Amino acid sequence: MMVGGPSRAGAVSEKRPWTFYALGALFLAYMAFLYGPMIVIYVLSFQGENGGVTFPMVGTSFTWFADIVKPGQMANIPISFSRSVMLATVVSLLTVIFSVAAGLGFRRRFPGSGVVFYLAVASLVMPSLLVGFGIGLGFQFLGLQTSMFTSALGAQLTWTLPFGMFAMFAVVNRFNRSWEEAAADLGASAWQRLRHVTLPILLPGILGVAMGAFTLSYDEYARTTLTIGQNNTLPLEIYALISSATSPTLFAIGTLTTGGSFLVIAITLILVMRMQRRRNAAILKAG
């Protein structure tokens, strides 16, 4: 039955089982699959001035990066980018507040919890464009103009809130209630318990929710397209661009996005590591 595997003692010794190598190879293949086309667009974004969106490369240049900010055809990219970031920031903030609260609320059984749960599931699995369609229809019936911080914000929340709530379930499940009880026994008020015990412990999870909601909103297309009104966000602008003309500018945007992502992640990692070190130091001092 053991297909070429080491003996069961393999778990005790430090020898890797054969599944490690098999899965490791699969992981590498997945990475190649994930980054292969990405690397192609990174390379093509440096396409020469006369080159197109496919190989071969006709020299190299920064033309397409310059095109992003050059006034003219692509002039909408920087402003739609700033709109996307603003909207994503607001979405992320609201998602954190409401879904963290909801995650905490679900820690005890309460009448009607099933309704809330299944409403969130339904909202999560609803085909995206239909949410935008429904909200757009509603605004039209009410005689309201759709706009970024009303209808589009709402449409995105129907996707980020359930996501945030489910993520919080996973975070809250690992939280040990006896810590809060200990704080209560020591005389902490409800607010003090939340402020000094619950939230600091949940913080990494909450940051995860914030980042996830930001990403979902920043890249959201189908919910936003029918609810945004006059001013396009970045994904809508990109979609308009690929329908009209294709140029390596799109790839340059992709390259910049990835560079930006690496930067943000690096900064976040450094902050988290610092936070952990400070907490460990505090524990050492206290204990």
Q: Is 253 in the site for another protein (CB under 8 A)?
A: yes
Is residue 255 a contact partner of residue 43, using CB atoms and an 8 Å limit?
no
184 lies in the site for another protein, by CB under 8 A = no
Contact 118, 94 (CB under 8 A): no
User: Segment contacting another protein (CB under 8 A): 2-10, 63-71, 178-186, 195-203?
Assistant: 2-10
Applying CB under 8 A, among 79, 182, 242, 245 the residue interacting with another protein is 242
Q: Using CB under 8 A, which of 15, 31, 70, 79 touches another protein? A: 31
Minimum CB separation of residue 192 from another protein in Å reads: 10
Interface with another protein, residue 182, by CB under 8 A = no
Question: Cα-atom radius of gyration of the chain, to the nearest Å?
Answer: 24
Please identify, among the stretches 29-37, 68-76, 85-93, 274-282, the one whose residues bind another protein according to the rule CB under 8 A: 29-37
State the Cα–Cα distance between residues 163 and 249, nearest whole angstrom.
Answer: 32
Min CB(283)–another protein separation in Å: 18
List, as own/partner pairs, every contact residues 246-249 make where C-beta atoms lie below 8 angstroms and the sequence separation is at least 24, other chains included.
Answer: 246/52, 246/53, 247/52, 247/53, 247/64, 247/67, 248/44, 248/45, 248/47, 248/51, 248/52, 248/53, 248/64, 249/64, 249/67, 249/68, 249/74, 249/77
| Short-list 257, 229, 232, CA closest to 244 | 232
Tell me: does residue 282 bind another protein (CB under 8 A). no
Q: Which residues contact 214 (CB under 8 A, 6 or more apart)?
A: 88, 89, 91, 92
Residue from 4, 13, 56, 176 binding another protein (CB under 8 A) = 56
Any contact of residue 55 with another protein (CB under 8 A)?
A: yes
Nearer to another protein, 63 or 99 (CB): 99
Tally of CB atoms within 10 A around 113? 12
Site membership for another protein, residue 134 (CB under 8 A): yes
Under the binding rule (CB under 8 A), the answer on residue 4 touching another protein is no
Helix (H, G, I), strand (E, B) or coil at 47: strand
Q: Contacting another protein (CB under 8 A), which of 116, 184, 201, 203?
A: 116
Closest approach of Cβ 50 to another protein, in Å?
16
Q: Is 189 in the site for another protein (CB under 8 A)?
A: yes
Is there binding between residue 175 and another protein (CB under 8 A)? Answer: no
CA dist 276 to 33, 41, 249, 273, Å? 34, 37, 40, 5
Residue 258 as a binder of another protein (CB under 8 A): the answer is yes
Q: Which of residues 197-236 bind another protein (CB under 8 A)?
A: 215, 218-219, 221-222, 226, 234-235
* Closer residue to another protein in complex, CB, 60/286: 60
Instruction: Return the residues of window 57-96 that contact another protein according to CB under 8 A.
Output: none
- Region for residue 112 given its phi and psi (left: phi exceeds 0; alpha: psi -120 to 50; beta: otherwise): left
**Phi, then psi, of 110 in degrees rounded to 5:** -140, 150
**Residue with Cβ nearer another protein (38 or 282):** 38
Q: How far apart are CA 59 and CA 61, in angstroms?
A: 7
Q: Select the residue interacting with another protein from 13, 71, 141, 287 (CB under 8 A).
A: 141
